[in-house]
Structure 1
Amino acid sequence: MIDIALLGFIALVLTLGLKRPFVWVLAYIYIDVVAPQKIGWGIIQSVPVSMIAFVAAFGGWLLLDDKHGSRVTLRQALVGLLLGWCFFTTQTADFPVEAATKWAWVWKALVFALFLPLTLRTRLRIEAAVLVMVLSIATIIINGGIKTALGSGGYGALSLLVNDNTGLYEGSILSTAAIAVIPLVLWLARHGTVFKPDRWVKLFAAALIFACLLIPIGTAARTGLVCIGVLGVLLLRSAKRRVLYASLASGALLIAVPFLPQSYLARMNTIADHDSDESASTRVQVWKWTLDYVAEKPLGGGFDAYRSNKFTYETRTIVNEGNNSIVKSQVVTDHGRAYHSSYFEMLGEQGWPGLFLWLLLHGLGLWQMERIRWLFGGRKADGADGATTWQWGLATALQQAQVIYLVGALFVGIAYQPFIFMLVGLQCALWSYVRRTEHRPTKAQFRRSSTEKPIPATS
Structure 2
Amino acid sequence: MRDIFVTFIVFASLPLIIKHPVNGVLMWIWISVMNPHTQSWGFATTFPFAQIIAVITLFSLATSRTPKTLPASGITFALLAMVLWMNITTLFAIFPAASQVQLAKVMKIMLMSLVTMVVIRRREDVHRMIWVLVISLGYYGVKGGIFTVREGGNFRVWGPIGTFIGGNNEIALALIIAIPLMRYLQLSSDNRWVKHGLTATMLLSAMAALGTYSRGALLAIGAMIVLMWLKSQQKLLGAFVILMFAPLAMLYMPERWTERMDSIADYEADTSAMGRINAWHMAYNLAKDRFFGGGFEIAEPSVFYLYAPNPAAVHAAHSIYFQALGEHGFIGLGLYLLLGVLTWRSASWIVRSSRDDPELQWASNLAKMIQSSLIGFAVGGAFLSLLYFDVPYYLMAAVVALRALTEQRLAARKAEVAR
TM-score by length of 1: 0.84
Is 2:408 the counterpart of 1:411? no
**Structure 2, unaligned stretches of length 5 or more?**
none
Is 2:325 the counterpart of 1:347? yes
Cα 1:247–1:145 shift into 2, 3 Å: closer
How many residue pairs get aligned? The number is: 413
Q: Which residue is 1:358 aligned to?
A: 336
Contact 1:306 1:348 survives alignment (8 Å) = no
**Structure 1, unaligned stretches of length 5 or more?**
314-332, 441-451
SS of 2:383 mapped into structure 1: coil
Residue 2 of structure 1 aligns to which amino acid in structure 2?
R
Cα 1:56–1:7 shift into 2, 3 Å: same
Contact 2:89 2:295 survives alignment (8 Å) = yes
In the alignment, which of 172, 175, 190 is matched to residue 178 of structure 1? 175
Q: Which residue is 2:193 aligned to?
A: 200
Task: Within 5 Å, give how 1:216-231 maps onto structure 2.
Answer: 216-231=209-224
Q: Quote the offset at 1:242 in angstroms.
A: 2.6
Is 2:295 the counterpart of 1:272? no
Distance in 2 (CA, whole Å) between partners of 1:152 and 1:167 is 27
Q: Quote the offset at 1:247 in angstroms.
A: 3.7
Contact 1:106 1:416 survives alignment (8 Å) = yes
Distance in 2 (CA, whole Å) between partners of 1:124 and 1:69 is 20
Q: Quote the offset at 1:65 in angstroms.
A: 4.3
Deviations 1:344-400 (A, max 9, x none): 0000000011111111011001011111111112x1x5xx5x8x7111111111111
Deviations 1:112-169 (A, max 9, x none): 22221211121111111111111112222222222222218667x4354x433x4022
Contact 1:131 1:188 survives alignment (8 Å) = yes
**More helix by proportion, 1 or 2?**
2
Contact 1:86 1:350 survives alignment (8 Å) = yes
Q: Which residue is 2:349 aligned to?
A: 371
**More strand by proportion, 1 or 2?**
1
Q: Quote the offset at 1:226 in angstroms.
A: 0.7
Contact 2:279 2:314 survives alignment (8 Å) = no
Distance in 1 (CA, whole Å) between partners of 2:236 and 2:21 is 47
Distance in 2 (CA, whole Å) between partners of 1:454 and 1:230 is 41
Deviates more, 1:236-245 or 1:355-364: 236-245
Is 2:40 the counterpart of 1:47? no
Residue 370 of structure 2 aligns to which amino acid in structure 1?
L
Contact 2:152 2:254 survives alignment (8 Å) = no
TM-score by length of 2: 0.91
Residue 161 of structure 2 aligns to which amino acid in structure 1?
N
Distance in 2 (CA, whole Å) between partners of 1:455 and 1:134 is 37
Q: Quote the offset at 1:201 in angstroms.
A: 0.4
Distance in 2 (CA, whole Å) between partners of 1:110 and 1:35 is 18
Q: Quote the offset at 1:69 in angstroms.
A: 9.0
Residue 309 of structure 1 aligns to which amino acid in structure 2?
F
Q: Quote the offset at 1:336 in angstroms.
A: 2.6
Distance in 1 (CA, whole Å) between partners of 2:313 and 2:101 is 21
Q: Which residue is 1:25 aligned to?
A: 25
Q: Quote the offset at 1:453 in angstroms.
A: 5.2
Contact 1:93 1:99 survives alignment (8 Å) = yes
Deviates more, 1:254-263 or 1:196-205: 254-263
Cα 1:70–1:186 shift into 2, 3 Å: same
Is 2:157 the counterpart of 1:158? yes
Distance in 2 (CA, whole Å) between partners of 1:124 and 1:455 is 24
Cα 1:264–1:97 shift into 2, 3 Å: farther
Cα 1:453–1:376 shift into 2, 3 Å: farther
Cα 1:25–1:306 shift into 2, 3 Å: same
SS of 1:413 mapped into structure 2: coil
Cα 1:292–1:429 shift into 2, 3 Å: same
Task: Within 5 Å, give how 1:217-366 maps onto structure 2.
Answer: 217-307=210-300, 308-310=303-305, 311=308, 334-366=312-344
Cα 1:190–1:90 shift into 2, 3 Å: same
Deviations 1:380-424 (A, max 9, x none): x5xx5x8x7111111111111111111111111111111121111
Distance in 2 (CA, whole Å) between partners of 1:255 and 1:158 is 19
Contact 1:369 1:427 survives alignment (8 Å) = yes
SS of 2:399 mapped into structure 1: helix
SS of 2:312 mapped into structure 1: strand
Contact 2:20 2:61 survives alignment (8 Å) = no
Task: Within 5 Å, give how 1:371-410 maps onto structure 2.
Answer: 371-377=349-355, 379=356, 389-410=361-382
Q: Which has the larger radius of gyration?
A: 1
Residue 74 of structure 2 aligns to which amino acid in structure 1?
L
Q: Which residue is 1:446 aligned to?
A: none
Contact 1:216 1:222 survives alignment (8 Å) = no
